[in-house]
Amino acid sequence: MADAPTSPGQGISGHDGPELHVALVGYGKGGEVFHAPLIDAVPGLRLSAVVTGSPERGRAAQERYPGITVYPTVADLWADAGRYEIAVVSTPNDTHAPLARAALEAGLAVVVDKPFALTAGQARELTDLADKLGRVLTVYQNRRWDADFLTLWKLIEEGALGRVHRFESRFERWRPEAKGTWRESGGVEAGAGLLYDLGPHLIDQAVNLFGPVTSVYAEIDARREGVNADDDVFLSLSHARGTRSQLWMSALSAQNGPRFRVLGNEAAFTSHGLDGQEARLTAGERPDAADWGVVPEAEWGLLGVDGRTEPVPSARGAYPEFYAGVRDAVGEGEPLPVDLHEVVHGLEIIEAARRSARTNSVVALPGR
């Protein structure tokens, strides 16, 4: 296992360091729901600017966060970059790498939404550039702070499952009618489809728990009418340590499987349903609420063997911890909340998955 995610409750309150000014590039769902509220809730960070070409979105941002500057283009932000310490890129997938590069070159620390880039090569170039310039660069892998993932992490770390040999993980939905968004109607070259949308989350969690992957088998399909990008994906990953991860992501799941089913040689852990933080953010709730991330007992996962299972008290979900980590990395020189080598490896896995699906074969990852 990699270094553990920050424990819930650490880093959010009691910050005495300098206030860092953040410019958010993009104010679609990602910027409005997943980034702006978290930045605003973390002491030591100030959401100071938003870049959007939509006057309507710009007005919505100013109404919710009075006093921010709205820039109509990224060129306007780069010309004014000296006012800010951090840029957050939350734009369509194929713009992530070029905008991250431009932000680094403008002198800013950078947070990039997933996917970090469309290829592992692009990701390595960005990593090298950040190292050369001595600037912070990290990726918004918020699902490391899901309540069920934090719970599973703790169980594995404590040895409650014994040696884990199989990890099953699912993001499944029932959306038989496509909405016609760029994520569905676009092509792979633009980063559309579930493998680029949900795949970075599922892959990142598997790699974070069980380490590097040596080979990949994949089934990737576009099943709904009018959809060009993949909407039904299965991945089987073989980890160097012996664990096998099986990952499902689908828009055509009329009955969802368990979110996690994790099998060890002493016990198993199962959980159902998605972490509730996304729904609360979508509803406009503030992530610094006293009950943020609390999971009702009825939704706790089960640990044990058939006939002898018991509910496991859930860890609290903690998305704000990511931005507390960004604050500390930029302001105090602390380690990154998400290290880039695991993210680059995740993109290697996505590339191997596409080769596997094209050739109907198991694809080995070079050097692993």
Query: For the segment 306-334, what is each residue's pLDDT rounded down to a tens digit?
Result: 999 999 999 999 999 999 999 999 999 99
Q: Residue 317 to residues 30, 139, 251: CA-CA distances in angstroms?
A: 18, 18, 24
CA distance 44 to 116: 25
Whole-number pLDDT of residue 13: 56
- At position 314, the amino acid (one-letter code) is S
Helix (H) or strand (E) holding 261: strand 260-264
Q: What is the side-by-side strand order in the sheet with 69-71?
A: 69-71, 45-51, 20-25, 86-89, 109-113, 137-140
User: Given the DSSP bridges, would you call strands 137-140 and 268-271 parallel, antiparallel or unpaired?
Assistant: unpaired
pLDDT at residue 184 in the model = 72
Which residues of the chain have a pLDDT value below 70?
A: 1-16, 182, 185, 368
Closest alpha carbon to 50 in 89, 82, 13, 15? 89
Phi, psi of 268 (to 5 degrees): -125, 160
Instruction: Give the chain's end-to-end CA distance (angstroms, integer).
Output: 16
Distance CA 124, CA 117 (A): 9
Strand partners, 325: none
- Residue pLDDT, tens place only, 218-262: 999 999 988 888 999 999 999 999 999 999 999 999 999 999 999
The pLDDT score that the predictor gives to residue 8 is 39
Q: DSSP string covering 12-71, please?
A: SS---S--EEEEEE--SHIIIIIIHHHHHHSTTEEEEEEE-S-HHHHHHHHHHSTT-EEE
Spatial separation of the C-alpha atoms in residues 59 and 61, rounded to whole Å:
5
- Contact between 8 and 150 under an 8 Å Cβ cutoff? The reply is yes
Cα separation, 210 vs 245, in Å, equals 9
